[in-house]
Amino acid sequence: MPPSPQLRFLARASILATAILAVWWWLLLTPVLAVMRAPTEFALRLLPGCGQETRILTGPDGQWSFAAPPGAASAPLQNAIQEAMRGLPDAAAKVPWRISSKQVVCARTSLSLFSLSLPLYWSILLAAPPRKSRLRAALGGSALAAAIGFVSLLLFFVKGTNDLAQFVPGAAARFALDLASYLGESLLPYAAPLLIAIWLNSEFRDRILSAAALRSSPAQPAHQPAARSGYGPGRKGGRSR
């Protein structure tokens, strides 16, 4: 009995993902992050309170950090420091203290996570059934996957900055930002490449979903075998791999 198309795809995608992700992790990740740094800095400068001097610093462990404006959230800490300094006998007690910035830090593992979409998309694209214009799917999908990774990274920093500066007004908007940042970290890097591949590769989409398009109601009479299509033993004219 030959393996099902699902198992064949699973085997192909797993092998390709292992190979491509390994090359990405050990060879390409550092240069890719170097390329992503300038546009990320540019975008962060657009945040409220962040000026043109905003820079991303790379730490010894490869983490990124940037000085976010302290905002109202820092006021209690600033007051506490001032109160504690007041008890000191020397001149330091008389100096007014002000928190000028706080560091928002993105660990190297999180940074690498935000760059995952691109190699994962290529793995799925190569493992999925062939289509006529794979180049178009490769270019368009790569651009989308890269954009989603970049947006997820920005959401991480925007959320971190907002936690300090609280520039997003209203509970609903803050919740939406929290949820978007959460999705950007925990779902989008992994799920977006799959969804993009399904969207751009019509043959792959048909194999998975065509039955849904042709048969909108689940209650299909048993005497309509022609309504079943897309894959499986009853398919005519389909490509078999």
Partner 1 sequence: MRRFLILFPVYLLSGFTVLKASFAQSVLSVMTGALVTVCARLIRAFGGQAIAEGAILRTPDNSFALMVVAGCNAAHVTVLLWAAVLSFPATWPQRAKGLAGGGAAIHAVNLIRIISLFYLGRWNRDVFDFAHVYLWESLITIDALVVFWTWVWLIRKPGPILHAHAA
Distance CA 214, CA 97 (A): 69
Choose the stretch contacting partner 1; rule: CB under 8 A; options: 64-72, 75-83, 145-153, 224-232. Answer: 224-232
Query: 11: Cβ–Cβ under 8 A, 6 or more apart, which residues?
Result: 3
CB of residue 203 to partner 1, shortest distance in Å: 14
CB 64 within 8 A of CB 56: yes
Q: Are strands 64-68 and 102-106 parallel, antiparallel or unpaired?
A: antiparallel
CB of residue 3 to partner 1, shortest distance in Å: 12
Question: What burial class does residue 171 get, using C-beta atoms within 10 Å of its C-beta: 0-12 exposed, 13-18 middle, 19+ buried?
Answer: exposed
Choose the stretch contacting partner 1; rule: CB under 8 A; options: 50-58, 83-91, 164-172, 223-231. Answer: 223-231
For partner 1, give the closer residue by CB, 37 or 228. Answer: 228
Would you say how long the chain is, in residues?
Answer: 241
116 forms part of the interface with partner 1 (CB under 8 A)? yes
Distance CA 230, CA 208 (A): 8
For partner 1, give the closer residue by CB, 56 or 211. Answer: 211
Q: Which residues bind partner 1 (CB under 8 A)?
A: 4-7, 9-10, 13-14, 17-18, 21-22, 24-26, 109, 112-113, 116, 120, 123-124, 178-179, 182-183, 186-187, 189-191, 194, 207-209, 211-213, 215-219, 222-223, 225, 228, 230-232, 234
